[in-house]
Structure 1
Amino acid sequence: MPGLVVPEVPHYVHPPPTKENLDFADLAVIDLEKYKTPEGKAQLVEDVRNAMTTAGFFYVINHGFTQDQTDRIFDIANLPFAHVNDEDKQKYIAHIKETGSYQGYKLRQYWHIDAGVRDQLEHYNIHHDVTKREHPEILRPFMPEIDAFSRHNHFNVMFPILRLLALGLELPEDTFVNQHDFDAPSDGWIRFMKYYPRTEEDEQKTKNVWLKGHTDFGSLTMLWSQPVSALQIMTPSGQWKWVKHIPNAMVVNTGEALEFLSGGYYKGTIHRVVQPPADQRNVPRLGAFYFALTNDDVKLTPLTESPVLQRVGITRRFKDEDAPTMGEWRKGRASAYGQTTLHDSKKKGVQEEFINGVVVRHYN
């Protein structure tokens, strides 16, 4: 059978990985090839549970995409930035503050970072159901591939991880899967994102921080690894450590929704983005992500039927009767981020805001 003919796309060339001796985090590597056997799956339950109750981040390999397929996605990811002019970008702008949804463009300088400095990153966000809205003309020939990418992330990567996480709580393995119905009202999305170098003045004002330390508000964030070092995680001991690039791997972390549902057992990990090391300082940083959220109507209360939670106890961020749905939490978090006035916490280097009555912290 002849191969599928796909449209041509300019090849995006990543810069080489940094040669600097950075303090990299020691993160678990989850090999999804093991998921295919009962013995391997049982081991992965333990490995994922350990990763998510300690570092909160892990790598995924053997996820079903070849290096060539991953390279192709990054080629496509660059199109909405390098091949759409500013006037056309405005036609597909995301009305984040008004709708609490990222669908469309978030342009540069929308978020306030610190000391009057605004961000230098833009992203184009696509609902996991790519037919939900119209896209820039340059992307339209590639929508079948973007749709396949979305479904691969959702069904072939996210679902196995969610099953492992449910088994780690000694729950039926489809507990979390059933809360992430691809066709139900929800707002999970693909994100193509590009960071641009900043001025030295901005770097000094923000102490080289591009995005303050934060936790994601969804269930899982899946980042396709790329070579420009900038992502850091906060370890349980309070240290910032870099996340290392592994070719054709994914970097996965939990968000607040999963933390709430697991009664604090799986914690949303604090992470930030900083200026890259000196040998990568003057190059853009292109990213491809999949942000998983539960169905909008899922109430974010702990799964108290979990035998694990019954043994270790439950940490609640709000009373069950006050718990928001995923849709309410997503709208509150997305609309507020980078737009509200943060207040200093009693803890040094921490600022706070209140969303739906819950304290949301930002770490600097």
Structure 2
Amino acid sequence: MKFHILSGLVAQVLSVSAGTIIWDGRFNDFTSSADLNKWSWGNQVGPYQYYIHGSSAVSAYVNLSPSYKNPADAGSKQGAKITLDNTAYWNGQNMRRTELIPQTTAAINKGKVYYHFSLMRKDVNAPATTREHQIAFFESHFTELKSGWLSGAPGISDTLLRWCVGGQTKWSVEWEADVWHNVAYEIDFTANTVGFWHSTGSAPLTRKVAPVSASTSSNGADWHVGVLELPRSGYPDSDEDYYWSGVYIETGDITTSVAGPGLAPVDPPASSSVVPVPSSTRAPVSSTTLATSTTKAQSSTTSSAAPVSTTPSGCTASQWSQCDGNNFTGCKSCAAPYTCKYINDWYSQCV
């Protein structure tokens, strides 16, 4: 009996020991989502930049509650429900989107780091399976989750949740309701690789995909915690809710416990009942160029030592891609027949 107790404690310690949080987005310091309104370009406070959303009040797009978090996530006081509704169009675009971006000067784009979050959906206001959704993505889309029908793919709908690198599916699973998917992107910005860790419920994270080569491009202010939905003619909007928990970035050894660094799981680890879909049965990944989103590099008013980079030579941006803006270092020429349209000082887009 003592042996079993000791073994359990050892296993718990091994699953909890981990690295150091360098950015914490777990909403623990928020009274409500209205706290997101304290951030602005002139008052860059709090853990998140909040500017990619529709025209309604913040509560139309982001809401917080203890009932929205993964019950096994002991490190979070509450989770977030991020919503797309019929007003969730930003800056006149035809893509619905609600996204939060880390507000930090931490080196979240240097060396090897782990981007953690948990994601869940319900049957009520479920994400449409007939449209492509880009979830927890970077500006260059070098890695992201996707759900729904991929733009340009055959068929009408797709029920998978996918992890993609450079637009190519590396892992997928049926996205069932009320199942928490715990994720960590293992990103090595020095080696230009990205790996994938995953579990469900309260089970510890395990590596599902070993690091693969990727164009790990990030200025440290372009990871989007939320969702961008690509438009599709003939399919009307419906409200969609995405539940988030345990959002943080760490360096050092990965935290495999869903509870968070230094904490014991609330529930005993349970094996996942969700089975990844073999690659032979997956729907083809579209070769259509993915729409990108806006970013905002760190303001010169907050950092006088911002890294300097040059625009890639000879490159062109595709339709919907960003093509200019303050501190933007990507492709500034649009592929024919598209032109670079000014949206605001921080963002222009190929249309």
Larger helix share, 1 or 2: 1
TM-score in same-fold range (> 0.5): no
Give the alignment's TM-score, normalised by structure 1: 0.30
Larger strand share, 1 or 2: 2
Give the alignment's TM-score, normalised by structure 2: 0.31
